[in-house]
Chains A and B, each alone.
Chain A
Amino acid sequence: MAYSEKVIEHYENPRNVGSFDKDDPSVGTGLVGAPACGDVMKLQLKISDEGIIEDAKFKTFGCGSAIASSSLATEWVKGMTIDQAMEIKNTQIVEELNLPPVKIHCSVLAEDAIKSAIADYKAKRAAKHSSPAKPDQTTAL
């Protein structure tokens, strides 16, 4: 299968690879997908008290399109507010990377990863203000 130039570019030079401390209260972690399906994305967002995404990191187990989708997602969300990041649609990723139909699920996973990371951050914040119990998402990591 032929990959688009943009997919190859992200695959060869992935942006923002790495991890933040998942226990840092300013970090939201999203872990989506499943090894048995051949795709797992971990996306982490470092979010300021004002709700601005200051930094993002990812690690992905998956094909080149999955790696490119998550790499692109980290680039896009940096500097966005939480609400803006929630607005990112998988179709925008498909368009930017010229993903073929068979790879659309990679973009869906990237969108899910952003939403999951934000949900984790919000749950952490809520927990901080109420009970000390940790949400499921982070204990899984």
Chain B
Amino acid sequence: MSLKLPIYMDNHATTPVDPRVVEAMLPYFTEIFGNAASRSHSHGWTAEKAVDTAREQVAALMGASGKEIVWTSGATESDNLAIKGAAEFNRDRGNHIITAQTEHKAVLDTCKRLEKDGYEVTYLPVEKDGRVNPETVRAAMTDKTTVVSIMLANNEIGTVNPIAEIGAIVKERGAIFHVDAVQGVGKIPFDVNTAKADLVSVSAHKMYGPKGVGALYVRRKPRVRITAQIDGGGHERGMRSGTLNVPGIVGFGKAAELCAAEMETEGARLLALRERLRTGIQSQVTDTYVNGSMEHRLPGNLNISFAYVEGEAMLMGLKDVAVSSGSACTSASLEPSYVLRAVGVEEEMAHTSIRFGLGRFNTEEEVDYVIKLVVGKVNKLRELSPLYEMAQQGIDLKSITWAAH
């Protein structure tokens, strides 16, 4: 089998839709096109039935009931609805929100908006391994804390948080626990009851489903209430108005079903591929550093810094491979990844990081090709690097007074 280039290894950004998912969706564009909210004819009933099946499929992936699923346009909307909705609903109980510095922008920027509206937000630091220490959550909680939002797994470094421990602490104090589970659900076991989660954001396109559809799990026992952020026809039990994206939802359901059925074998396969990639690179290239915990990590994630080689120059050399970098050289600010900074990676090392996100359709052959390519490019760019030359000469780069620009 010949390799098809470019090779896609950016599965944290998005995943291709599984052909089995596409097949499940197709009838819902043309034959079964009804509005799931239409109660007066069979077109509506059939659509509603398909949506309810998908509810069960998505709920089953996280040990929930179909009745606890609210469809959204994606995880960004789910995060907004969860945090703003819960904070607003509980406004008379308190105005304090807790989250972590390494959360996705959909959570961080939602919190920043709430700060402007008079809420107080604590952004917890994380440990060197990228995980939130549950004790920092305990220490940050006050009588005014209404919402705690912590992600299941990080989108850049793939580290998995001790969600159950955090959930237990949050519930001791009676606050609402929101989990942005976008990167973890479907890839590692997750159960809303073990996690003691009240609200959970998930997205279809991170698990081989279509883009534009997500869900928010909203606990029913005991009932968690949130203030709707989109007003209209009162769909989704009043929590999210808007005509349902039936084909997308059907696809999300099928994608969830496949993830549940294949999680164990696929998780082991991805872990083996990731380790093949990591050891393949690290056995041939010196001065590389994996960012984030190796132990508590998504099986498909490898975030690695190549000292003395700037990340964007690496990406340019890896044009046959779709990956991403923690170097934000393209942004006007020139600031490297805030996630890497939060885990204590120094700026110069953050500029050299590459994120590999392995997924369902990656093969051993592709991994071997990428190893070869990466090793060649790192060597080439190090030949070009004044920092590498200085390090080889035994000069401590930290001893130099650099002119910041």
A residues bordering B, Cβ < 8 Å? 1, 3, 8, 11, 14, 17, 19, 31-42, 59-64, 66-67, 102, 105, 108-109, 112, 140-141
Contact = CB atoms under 8 A, between A and B. Distances in A.
Which secondary structure dominates chain B's binding surface? loop
B313, B395, B397, most chain A CB atoms within 10 A = B313
B384, B389, B402, most chain A CB atoms within 10 A = B384
B404 interface: yes
Interface of B: 308-313, 316-317, 327, 329-332, 334, 336, 346-348, 351, 383-390, 395, 397, 400-405
Contacts of B334: 37-38, 105
Contacts of A108: 405
Contact of A64 (B316, B346, B395): B316
Given A17-B383, A19-B389, A35 B348 contact: yes
A31 B310 contact: no
Contacts of A112: 405
A60 B308 CA distance: 10
Contact of A140 (B310, B388, B400): B400
A37 B404 contact: yes
A8 to B, nearest CB: 8
B315 to A, nearest CB: 9
A98 to B, nearest CB: 15
Contacts of B311: 38
A67 B386 contact: no
B405 A61 contact: no
A22 to B, nearest CB: 10
A42 B384 CA distance: 10
Contacts of B336: 38
A67 B330 contact: no
B308 A36 contact: no
Contacts of A66: 310, 313
Given A32-B405, A40-B386, 15 more contacts: A11-B313, A11-B316, A33-B402, A35-B387, A35-B402, A36-B402, A38-B311, A38-B312, A38-B334, A39-B405, A40-B387, A59-B385, A61-B310, A63-B313, A102-B332
A19 B329 CA distance: 26
Contacts, number: 97
Contacts of A31: 386
B405 A34 contact: yes
Given A17-B383, A36-B404, A61 B397 contact: no
A140 B387 CA distance: 12
Contacts of A34: 402-405
B329 A36 contact: no
A63 B329 contact: yes
A139 B241 CA distance: 68
Given A59-B385, A60-B386, A61-B386, A37 B312 contact: no
A39 B403 contact: no
B387 to A, nearest CB: 5
Contact of B384 (A33, A59, A140): A59
B313 A62 contact: yes
Nearest to B327: A38
A83 to B, nearest CB: 24
Given A1-B330, A38-B327, A141-B390, A61 B402 contact: no
A36 B310 CA distance: 11
Given A35-B348, A38-B327, A60 B385 contact: yes
A61 B316 contact: no
B386 A63 contact: no
B388 to A, nearest CB: 8
A112 B404 CA distance: 13
B316 A36 contact: no
A17, A38, A40, A109, most chain B CB atoms within 10 A = A38
Q: 8 tightest A-B contacts by CB?
A: A34-B402, A35-B348, A42-B386, A36-B347, A63-B312, A38-B351, A59-B386, A64-B316
A41 B331 CA distance: 20
A3, A31, A35, A37, most chain B CB atoms within 10 A = A35
Contacts of A140: 400-401
B316 A63 contact: yes
A35 B397 CA distance: 9
